Structure 1
């Protein structure tokens, strides 16, 4: 820590909350659907205004009353003449096809994702709480696959004077702070993603690197969490090296650099989605989560897509945890493998990086992830004997 100027806050991070905070997604899905009436919400004067607007012939488009009136959802738009506009799904599917064609994948959507795969994805996303209405399953999944290239980094080079070691120390410290606040996994992956983007867009000194990391974690928490820490508490974790004014000023600077776009599909979503479809056991999932979090410390992994990182972690975990294979499990794995984008060479490269990181994790200075996954709750994933044999890991058979 002294080498990089980061204050050592390990003693401050020993406190844990007794009750785990419920992620916003789970909390929202648990809430009952409120009845939203479509009619009866306008006053008499408002009704006259609405009637006057309806009689105005200059408006070419009007909103059609929702099909599901009890949900209050606008399902489609129609022309004023009454003829129905072309189906939105047709244009959405065509847009996805055009995007996937650029990735040199299957020429048609039906070839890429058969009916069986689409059904498995729908069930998995519903079980994992990634959607509220199953009718939007394919739209959400298409956006997850499409948005990966939006902020993809072309290379893993860091701007001077930062090094891979400096970045790893900062990410390791952020993992400790994230664990102390009991944030969700999505918050951690979003924070590191924002950090990777900001480091390449704004000039920042080594002395302000820790402040930048905390701001990225704070912004990620604003997007993913229900409860947020106080700004003064974040300053306290940095030993009050920075003031509240400095933190808020850095937050404004980061948001302007990112153009207030904090969207990101974390690899943990693809990991859990593939693991559910592949019918993987709990040990395999814990091992894959451990390998995936280790990739956050590796600067070489920032230029890969989230779905590629998830696929590599899951395949590597299956290599370590030798679960009994059955025809049903092999068929499920084949279905889950269709989600992957990229070549086998790319997959093997990522597995190589993760395997090397796992082999030396127990003796590294950045050991936050290793310690986190050495507990009973994580099934002692980081202590698995297969992880300590570097020659075996570096000669993987994919």
Structure 2
């Protein structure tokens, strides 16, 4: 869980490099990548070794033995739910909501009762609900409130660039990993950051402060133990005071109208994977691709359920696991949850494939390093990621 009392913040900015290779504080990176250079580069002092941290407990403990196939399925006809697995997997792609999100009240009439049962079981197995009686209602609410989590376009305020945003998010990912927060905290923090950048007038000089505040607010909602405010200031090299951090926190809460609700794409991904009986390797690969989407500014225009579905589809394409009849039938059932057309999901998959291909060579490589460990089955180093764009060209 979270710890406090860190002695040297500069050593914490890149936990995966040697002490003499660690980078300068984030303010230097932001000024280097942003269009406005307001500060001179900060001289980096020799940093001490970062404190050891315990390995966080895995959030995905289920290890289904059933494998999946490389077949790309985007839709599922209710009329075909009684067909054989081999037949339903070639059904034409359809929209789950042909009349838009307004038709959610009749969602129970559009999907087979088996899907409802599987969704309820998956939510219960993932510890996302306490009472199974309300599982389906909760799922409907997750699907229906998604529109407020996306944006009409990916435009950032004029003083920021996509590179500036990516550098900030990469730093947040490192701090999140250091504090051993839950994965939901990271997705909520980026969600709050995306909204705050468009609701608040924030200068480049205060961008790192905004990122830390969003992570702090997300931790308050998702975590049981919190770091001290002074410890958060030390992570920012004491560039900002406790008073500045708390004042920015009030500004963010007022701008967001104290609305911290969010259904992260991670929940949809785990839900899909549980229904589709995906293997542990597929799940870790999909989680890696989904976290890469946080760095891509153009992904903010898509719904969480679309990002999760595209990540899982691409993971299956990359791994090319041997199909089984049970796995094929389960995947057809899970595919009926996808919202959006096949071109939309293919577009997201192309974005994720491009991000995965360049993840190891970019400066923002914290996610690549994070998922290259044995605990994550080293999915970020899978050779199939280099040919992901070629695999997708078949469906373009």
TM range (shorter): 0.7 to 0.9
Contact 1:188 1:217 in 2 (8 A): yes
- In structure 1, how many angstroms separate the alpha carbons of the residues matched to 2:129 and 2:163? 38
Match of 1:271 in 2: 269
Match of 2:201 in 1: 203
The 1:321–1:199 alpha-carbon spacing in structure 2 relative to 1, beyond 3 Å, is same
- In structure 2, how many angstroms separate the alpha carbons of the residues matched to 1:140 and 1:356? 34
Task: Check if 1:245 corresponds to 2:243.
Answer: yes
Any idea what the Cα deviations from partners look like across 1:272-292, whole Å, max 9, x if unmatched?
Answer: 000010000000000000000
- In structure 1, how many angstroms separate the alpha carbons of the residues matched to 2:318 and 2:47? 34
- In structure 1, how many angstroms separate the alpha carbons of the residues matched to 2:181 and 2:49? 13
Contact 2:185 2:222 in 1 (8 A): yes
Q: Indicate which of 40, 51, 70 corresponds to 1:15.
A: 51
Task: Check if 1:4 corresponds to 2:30.
Answer: yes
**Who wins on radius of gyration, i.e. which is larger?**
1
Task: Check if 1:146 corresponds to 2:144.
Answer: yes
TM-score, normalized by length of structure 1?
Answer: 0.77
Q: Give how far 1:9 is off.
A: 11
Match of 1:160 in 2: 158
- In structure 1, how many angstroms separate the alpha carbons of the residues matched to 2:286 and 2:297? 19
Match of 1:340 in 2: 338
- In structure 1, how many angstroms separate the alpha carbons of the residues matched to 2:306 and 2:147? 12
Any idea what the Cα deviations from partners look like across 1:233-277, whole Å, max 9, x if unmatched?
Answer: 000000000000000000000000000000000000000000010
Contact 2:277 2:327 in 1 (8 A): yes
- In structure 2, how many angstroms separate the alpha carbons of the residues matched to 1:304 and 1:160? 22
Q: Indicate which of 371, 374, 377 corresponds to 1:376.
A: 374
1:48-67 alignment to 2 at 5 Å?
none
- In structure 1, how many angstroms separate the alpha carbons of the residues matched to 2:179 and 2:368? 18
The 1:101–1:394 alpha-carbon spacing in structure 2 relative to 1, beyond 3 Å, is closer
Q: Indicate which of 180, 188, 191 corresponds to 1:190.
A: 188
Contact 2:306 2:338 in 1 (8 A): yes
Contact 1:15 1:180 in 2 (8 A): no
TM-score, normalized by length of structure 2?
Answer: 0.77
- In structure 2, how many angstroms separate the alpha carbons of the residues matched to 1:149 and 1:293? 20
User: Which structure 1 residue ranges, 5 or more long, are not aligned?
Assistant: 27-98
Higher relative contact order (CA 8 A, sep 6+): 2
Contact 2:149 2:304 in 1 (8 A): no
Q: Give how far 1:394 is off.
A: 5.5
Contact 1:101 1:107 in 2 (8 A): no
Instruction: Give the superposed CA RMSD.
Output: 2.5
Match of 2:126 in 1: 128
Contact 2:185 2:223 in 1 (8 A): yes
User: Which structure 2 residue ranges, 5 or more long, are not aligned?
Assistant: 1-25, 33-41, 62-96
Aligned length, in residue pairs = 324
Match of 2:109 in 1: 111
Contact 1:21 1:183 in 2 (8 A): no
Q: Give how far 1:11 is off.
A: 6.0
The 1:104–1:324 alpha-carbon spacing in structure 2 relative to 1, beyond 3 Å, is farther
